[in-house]
């Protein structure tokens, strides 16, 4: 079954990590052959190529500049003439709205991979409803519910993101080396948040909770993730000002954009991302669990399908006091923290072990009527 994954490629987050993991796992399932078409060049394209994936650059396009859309559609049309694919999986409503018509004209069925909940109000979503896919693959039960409501009659199946446990040779030595590089004093409990600089990721709530901590053990909070769009730059600057203007002092550090998140997870002790909006899935929580770090987040969205009492804690959305209480207990109670961390990797494997996820993807595509015909 030859699949063309179509993505924008101009940003980097959970969607792009999912695509890279698909490229990394290409040899795990002989039924699937993955190729990738990206509109914009950048980190996604580079990392896909680094993993030996077949990548087709379609060219950047903006809906406000119709000539760029026509150019990109023409490039995709030529690709579909030159090569035969059994299915095209569109990795956003934006891609589906602008490119699905070309794919269908070429006689290739389209699947939409739902990476975020479907509100049905944006222009991309409205166009997707007018030209619906033959099926939806949703990354969580939370996401699936929105598609079932907004695309009635279109079958939807949950296929969670795949992710293998990261390989960190000499993890203990690497942990100490990175902590030394970051200037972290011995015995300090490190709290990590690694996420895009978007308001709904809960940075403000996190900072408010940190200001209320009454832990006896020394601690430090690290925020990894840089701004990728202008409004994110303003938000990041606001957070830095808020931290500097509080009593947190040197206990909070902003690391900017990082490409070593697994290493940061290994160097930390607690993962905290108290979303103020529902996470469609939350691949970063899987990364934290694989690293053996207990995770705390808010009890809604896809993240609530990942974190449970065996490997972390869920708080009510917006509960600053509840978050501060969880963090204080975990900082001061190393035995509890380590017990939760010990159970975490098995939870990650249960949800995202690559071979299981690929089998689920094959099953979903076959249920949608897709059969492998290309060789």
What is the CATH classification number for the domain harbouring 146? 3.40.50.2000
Element (H, E) at 81: helix 66-82
Residue 40 DSSP code:
S
Model confidence, pTM: 0.90
Residue 39 DSSP code:
S
Residue 138 DSSP code:
E
As a whole number of angstroms, the distance between CA 39 and CA 34 comes to: 17
> Which of 288, 289, 113, 323 lies closest to 205, judged by CA?
323
User: Tens digit of pLDDT for each residue in 234-252?
Assistant: 999 999 999 988 888 889 9
Structure tokens at 374: 């290309």
Per the domain annotation, does 76 fall within a domain?
A: yes
Domain of residue 27 covers 2-163+353-367
> Which of 89, 116, 63, 60 lies closest to 1, judged by CA?
89
Collapse the DSSP code of 25 into the 3-class scheme (helix H, G, I; strand E, B; otherwise coil) and give the result.
Answer: coil
State whether 303 and 176 are in the same domain.
Answer: yes
Tell me what the mean pLDDT of segment 318-335 comes to: 97
Where residue 329 falls among pLDDT bands split at 50, 70, 90? very high
State whether 200 and 302 are in the same domain.
Answer: yes
Per the domain annotation, does 375 fall within a domain?
A: no
User: Tens digit of pLDDT for each residue in 331-368?
Assistant: 999 999 999 999 999 999 999 999 999 999 999 999 99
Phi, psi of 181, deg, nearest 5: -60, -40
Q: What is the side-by-side strand order in the sheet with 110-114?
A: 54-57, 33-38, 2-7, 87-90, 110-114, 135-138, 156-158
State whether 94 and 21 are in the same domain.
Answer: yes
As a whole number of angstroms, the distance between CA 139 and CA 115 comes to: 6
Per the domain annotation, does 374 fall within a domain?
A: no
State whether 189 and 294 are in the same domain.
Answer: yes
Tell me what the mean pLDDT of segment 197-223 comes to: 96
Tell me what the mean pLDDT of segment 14-28 comes to: 91
State whether 347 and 289 are in the same domain.
Answer: yes
- Would the pLDDT of 370 be above 80? yes
- Would the pLDDT of 375 be above 60? no
State whether 24 and 116 are in the same domain.
Answer: yes
Tell me what the mean pLDDT of segment 221-230 comes to: 91
b/e sequence 270-286, b meaning 16+ C-beta within 10 Å = bbbbbbbebbbbbbbbb
State whether 52 and 156 are in the same domain.
Answer: yes
Residue 137 DSSP code:
E
Per the domain annotation, does 95 fall within a domain?
A: yes
Mean pLDDT of the chain: 94
State whether 191 and 153 are in the same domain.
Answer: no
State whether 61 and 185 are in the same domain.
Answer: no
As a whole number of angstroms, the distance between CA 235 and CA 231 comes to: 6
State whether 194 and 292 are in the same domain.
Answer: yes
Element (H, E) at 357: helix 354-367
User: Tens digit of pLDDT for each residue in 283-304?
Assistant: 999 999 999 999 999 999 999 9
State whether 53 and 132 are in the same domain.
Answer: yes
**Region of 9 on the Ramachandran plot (φ > 0 left; ψ -120 to 50 alpha; else beta):** left
User: CB–CB of 16/232 below 8 Å?
Assistant: no
**Region of 32 on the Ramachandran plot (φ > 0 left; ψ -120 to 50 alpha; else beta):** beta
As a whole number of angstroms, the distance between CA 141 and CA 158 comes to: 6
pLDDT at residue number 31: 87
Per the domain annotation, does 67 fall within a domain?
A: yes
Per the domain annotation, does 358 fall within a domain?
A: yes
Tell me what the mean pLDDT of segment 29-49 comes to: 94
Collapse the DSSP code of 100 into the 3-class scheme (helix H, G, I; strand E, B; otherwise coil) and give the result.
Answer: helix
Domains contained in the chain, number: 2
Where residue 108 falls among pLDDT bands split at 50, 70, 90? very high
Per the domain annotation, does 21 fall within a domain?
A: yes
pLDDT at residue number 159: 97
pLDDT at residue number 374: 61
CA 182 and chain centroid, separation? 25
Per the domain annotation, does 113 fall within a domain?
A: yes
State whether 79 and 25 are in the same domain.
Answer: yes
Where residue 120 falls among pLDDT bands split at 50, 70, 90? confident
């Amino acid at each position: 079954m030859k699949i063309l994954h179509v993505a924008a490629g101009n940003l980097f987050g959970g969607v792009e990590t999912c695509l890279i993991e698909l490229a990394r796992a290409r040899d795990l399932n002989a039924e699937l052959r993955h190729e990738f078409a990206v509109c914009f060049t950048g980190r996604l394209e580079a990392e896909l190529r680094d993993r030996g994936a077949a990548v087709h650059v379609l060219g950047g396009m903006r809906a406000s500049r119709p000539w760029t859309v026509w150019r990109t559609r023409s490039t995709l049309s030529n690709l579909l003439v030159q090569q035969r694919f059994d299915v095209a999986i569109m990795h956003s409503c934006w891609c589906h709205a602008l490119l699905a018509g070309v794919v269908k004209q070429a006689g290739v069925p389209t699947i939409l991979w739902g990476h975020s909940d479907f509100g049905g109000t944006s222009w991309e979503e409205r166009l997707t409803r007018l030209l619906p896919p033959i099926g939806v693959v949703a990354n969580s039960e939370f996401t699936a519910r929105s598609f079932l409501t907004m695309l009635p009659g279109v079958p939807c199946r949950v296929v969670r993101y795949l992710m293998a446990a990261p390989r960190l040779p000499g993890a203990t030595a690497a942990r100490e080396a990175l902590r030394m590089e970051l200037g972290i004093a011995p015995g300090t409990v490190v709290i990590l948040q690694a996420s895009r600089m978007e308001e709904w990721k809960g940075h403000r709530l996190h900072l408010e909770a940190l200001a209320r901590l009454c832990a006896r053990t020394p601690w430090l909070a690290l925020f990894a993730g840089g701004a990728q769009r202008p409004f994110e730059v303003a938000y990041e600057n606001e957070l830095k000002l808020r931290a500097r203007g509080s009593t947190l002092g040197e206990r909070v550090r902003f690391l900017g954009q990082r490409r070593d998140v697994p290493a940061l997870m290994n160097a930390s002790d607690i993962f905290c991302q108290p979303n103020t909006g529902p996470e469609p899935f939350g691949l970063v929580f899987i990364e934290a669990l694989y690293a053996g770090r207990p995770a705390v987040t808010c009890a809604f969205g896809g993240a609530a399908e990942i974190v449970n009492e065996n490997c972390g804690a869920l708080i009510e959305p917006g509960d600053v006091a509840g978050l501060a209480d969880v963090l204080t207990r975990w900082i001061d109670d190393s035995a509890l923290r380590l017990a939760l961390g010990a159970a975490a990797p098995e939870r990650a494997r249960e949800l995202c072990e690559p071979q299981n996820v690929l089998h689920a993807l094959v099953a979903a595509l076959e249920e949608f009527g897709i059969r492998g015909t290309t060789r």
